[in-house]
Amino acid sequence: MIANNMKHALFCAVITLVISYPILGFNLEARGVDITISGASTFTLVMVALAALVVFAFQLFRDHIMSALAAIPKPGSDSHKEPMEENRRAQIQSWILTGILVLALFWPFFVSRGSVDLATLVLIYVMLALGLNVVVGLAGLLDLGYVAFYAVGAYTFALLSDYAGFSFWMSLPVGALLAALFGLVLGFPVLRLRGDYLAIVTLGFGEIIRILLNNWTSLTGGPNGIGGIPEPTLFGMEFGRRVKEEGNTSFHETFGIAYSGEDKVIFLYLISLVLAVFTALVIRRFMRMPVGRAWEALREDEIAARSLGLSRTAVKLSAFTIGAFFAGFAGTVFASKQGFISPESFVFLESAIILAIVVLGGMGSQLGVILAAVAVTILPELAREFSEYRMLIFGAAMVLMMVWRPQGLIPMRRIHIELKKQE
């Protein structure tokens, strides 16, 4: 057996060398107009050789390794349990979420400002991921241009505050509804396309929006973006040291406490928390309503769904629009948090990251998606030294998850509607 694998192993090792040595083994350096080439560091060369060796060894002893791996019990294969058990599991998840929520409410008062700021970013991604989850996880539509709706929400707020003096609270529903409208308009013509075509078309839309934002300088400020975006107020109280808007009072003066820069950050965090929880609860509710059942039916068997009178376009459109709505929410918060937005924040990579969060977390599962959002946002911060490799690891992780555990970290456990026994 080992002899059989020898040829294959050698082949794989050679391939590894071919794909790594030329790219990694030489450094192109531009000196002025000329380019020179130099050999890479010994470390790199050693790593390349090592990689080839590892591949060789793996392929050689593949059978042994694979049988050893197969002996390890798989983490909970979760197909086809009695729905009652699933209901209980889903309830346990609800309790976990509630616990996390309570923690999240009190936590910011005990940690540094930077952490709270980071947590706000996490919450924004949670909102985005939950929204995309509706489109991808629940309705099964691959949307690669989700970032466009995010941008609509953010730019709506920026423009409204710039031109019409809208406050955060006024812009929030407007931004979300406008994003939903974009979802409706963009979605309507394309939702009858097949899965992968839909993906590419939404990608195209996302890119078109970004290019327009970048080039329509008169409206959007082009690559320079729009600044001066206000933060949310609490019943007219601002959180800055001095009041920016006429007629507003400042928070610390009203309550007679010393000004602290932290108040602003914590307040925004709490707002984001409220909005994120709102998003999760509303979507949860939708899942148990006819609209959510229709999503699931259409995803499971489109032809059967159509034969029962469900209009494919209407159902997909509802998912698309609702997903876009929550992206608008997230966009508004994001704009407020940064104080300034530019097209740079709305590139395709963002869509890919949000998609990765949904997929890694387990398409359709709210708890999984929340945990994945936390992981994807926080882990790079923790491992600062590896920040260069962040995207590399990210891409590799996506591939690995699909190969190893496509149902995600925490696969969706639905709460099934029960038929109560009538005695």
Site for another protein in 323-362 (CB under 8 A): 348-349, 352, 355-356, 359
Helices (H) and strands (E) in the chain, counts: 17, 4
Distance CA 358, CA 132 (A): 7
Question: What is the number of other CB atoms lying within 10 angstroms of the CB of residue 366?
Answer: 27
Residues 138 to 157 in contact with another protein, rule: CB under 8 A: 140, 142, 144
Provide CB contacts within 8 A for 147, sequence distance 6+.
Answer: 206, 210, 346, 347, 348, 350, 351, 354
Q: How far is the CB of 199 from another protein (least distance, A)?
A: 6
Residues 72 to 101 in contact with another protein, rule: CB under 8 A: 80, 82-84
Provide CB contacts within 8 A for 303, sequence distance 6+.
Answer: none
- Provide the mask over 208-227, with x wherever binding to another protein is found by CB under 8 A and - wherever it is not: x--xx--x------------
Q: How far is the CB of 399 from another protein (least distance, A)?
A: 4
For residue 249, give the 3-state DSSP assignment: strand
Q: How far is the CB of 417 from another protein (least distance, A)?
A: 6
Residues 22 to 61 in contact with another protein, rule: CB under 8 A: 22-24, 26-28, 30, 33, 35-37
Question: CB-side exposure of 275: number of CA atoms within 13 Å?
Answer: 32
The one segment of 103-111, 164-172, 188-196, 233-241 that binds another protein by CB under 8 A: 188-196
Distance CA 348, CA 58 (A): 35
Residues 250 to 279 in contact with another protein, rule: CB under 8 A: none
Q: How far is the CB of 204 from another protein (least distance, A)?
A: 4
Question: Taking the C-alpha atoms of 41, 44, 48 and 54 in order, what is their torsion angle to the nearest 10 degrees?
Answer: 140
Number of residues that bind another protein (CB under 8 A): 90
Distance CA 346, CA 209 (A): 9
The one segment of 68-76, 120-128, 226-234, 411-419 that binds another protein by CB under 8 A: 411-419
Report the residue number, 186 or 335, with the smaller CB distance to another protein.
Answer: 186
Q: How far is the CB of 296 from another protein (least distance, A)?
A: 6
Q: What is the DSSP string of 2-59?
A: HHHHHHHHHHHHHHHHHHHHHHHHEEEEEETTEEEEEEPPHHHHHHHHHHHHHHHHHH
Report the residue number, 190 or 276, with the smaller CB distance to another protein.
Answer: 190
Report the residue number, 25 or 104, with the smaller CB distance to another protein.
Answer: 25
Report the residue number, 82 or 246, with the smaller CB distance to another protein.
Answer: 82
Distance CA 40, CA 23 (A): 10
Q: How far is the CB of 23 from another protein (least distance, A)?
A: 5
Residues 280 to 319 in contact with another protein, rule: CB under 8 A: 282, 285-286, 289-291, 293-294, 296-297, 300-301, 303-312
The one segment of 197-205, 227-235, 253-261, 331-339 that binds another protein by CB under 8 A: 197-205
